[in-house]
Chain A
Amino acid sequence: MKDDQHYIRDIAAMRTMMERSTKFMSLSGLAGILAGMYALAGAFIAHKYLYTEGRLAGLILLAVAVLILAVGSAVWLSWKKAAKRREKAWNPTAKRLAINMAVPLVTGGVLILILIANNLFSLMAPCTLLFYGLALFNAGKFTYEEVRSLGLIQIALGLTAAYFTNYALLCWAVGFGLVHIIYGMYIHYRYER
């Protein structure tokens, strides 16, 4: 007869299997920390040189650069983490996560282009926070649960930024910079050691 330790191990294995096949757990905390640092650097440059003088082209270029760096790091580190766990990064859970984030993100992106076309620049930064927050809230079901509360924080910051437009850049730096770094460290210490 098998002892009960065996069955407890069975249950543990089932739990891991179920989680592995429904949640994308290769997301890297380190990537969050890096994204936060890029965002802080970007916000600093924007504050110093661009935002007050309203140099729109420079601002957009800077934003795109920060975005590419952040997404690039996230993809690269997730890929590495998946390889370490002997999984493929681009598996069905990753696809589900990507689709569920893409809808709010693309909506936000298009809205921001519309805002630019209509000279409503003051709402640009709040909108990035809002739609990113919605995307994260949605994503929380398909990866670490903590991502859900991260989304709520970004939404709250986005609404604050939309009302107090003078503090929009500050809110943006807190949301994309500080909060990312804090969450990245949390994920890193909780799941990656």
Chain B
Amino acid sequence: MKILIESLHKAFESRIRLGIMSVLAVNDFLDFNALKDYLDVTDGNLATHLKSLEKEHFIGVKKSFVGRKPNTKYFMTKAGKKAFDDHLKALEKLIKSQR
């Protein structure tokens, strides 16, 4: 049981971070506003969670300009994909073991 819990990554304890990873798993790129819409969170809250995922190198940032307005797009890194998959597998095992 203990081993299973440990394989659940701490970064995914927050449901918002889990949400960010979920939507980036199925979309190649998403900008800040799209993420905000899907997750229904405030700017500051989202920015904090994005920062912490970025620090873990789970997501990457791509900055560009749309006209003269800066546009920041987020994507999932390979490390992030692996961590997310592992987390899913751990969840699956955990639920199976409870049956």
Cross-chain contact A17 with B39 (CB below 8 angstroms): yes
Q: Give chain A interface residues in 6-33, CB to chain B under 8 Å.
A: 7-8, 10-11, 13-14, 17-18, 20-22
**Does A84 sit within 8 A of B, measured CB to CB?**
no
**How far does the Cβ of A83 sit from chain B's closest Cβ, in whole Å?**
12
Cross-chain contact B95 with A21 (CB below 8 angstroms): no
CA of A20 to CA of B34, assembled, Å: 11
CA of A17 to CA of B23, assembled, Å: 6
| Main SS at interface, chain A | helix
Given contacts A17-B39, A18-B25, is CB(A10)–CB(B18) below 8 Å?
A: yes
Closest residue on chain B to residue A85 by CB atoms: B40
Interface size classification for chain B: 10 to 19
Cross-chain contact B26 with A10 (CB below 8 angstroms): no
Cross-chain contact A11 with B38 (CB below 8 angstroms): no
CA of A18 to CA of B22, assembled, Å: 6
Determine which of B18, B27, B94 lies in contact with A13 in the assembled complex, contact meaning CB atoms within 8 Å. Answer: B18
Cross-chain contact B19 with A14 (CB below 8 angstroms): yes
> In the complex, what residues of A have CB within 8 A of residue B39's CB?
17
B interface with A by C-beta (< 8 Å): 5, 15, 18-19, 22-23, 25-27, 30, 34, 37-40, 91, 94-95, 98
A interface with B by C-beta (< 8 Å): 1, 4, 7-8, 10-11, 13-14, 17-18, 20-22, 86-88, 91-92
